[in-house]
Amino acid sequence: MIQTLAHYSSHALLPLIVALVFYKSSWKLAFIIMLSGWLIDIDHVLADPMFDPNRCSINFHPLHKYYAIAVYVLLLLPKKTRLVGLGLIIHIFADTVDCSFM
């Protein structure tokens, strides 16, 4: 229960903290863009079973593979894609922390 709460709250709280600290003047937009990193979880519908509490997402689901993570890191470089990349990296970080509890 605590692990699940920590996992889902980190998906929302980390982008909020980053937005409030580094994007003060446009924190709402920055928060929404980073929160959209959650959309990569759409790849979970390809898994069978779709949800397995004992499965680590990292390097299992297509959008959680290492090659995809490399693309997310590259998105940090251009200013226009930085928030998207940051949201995706925060999502992967939260999933990685979750995997460490398994």
* Residue pLDDT, tens place only, 36-69: 999 999 999 999 988 888 899 999 999 999 999 9
In this prediction the pTM is 0.91
Decide: helix, strand or coil at residue 10: helix
Instruction: Identify residue 50 by its one-letter amino acid code.
Output: M
Q: Report d(CA 56, CA 34) in Å as an integer.
A: 22
- Model confidence at 3: pLDDT above 80: no
Task: Give CA–CA dist 26/8, Å, rounded.
Answer: 24
Q: Check whether 1 has a pLDDT greater than 70.
A: no
The rounded distance, in Å, linking the Cα atoms of 83 and 89 is 10
- State yes or no: pLDDT of 8 exceeds 90: no
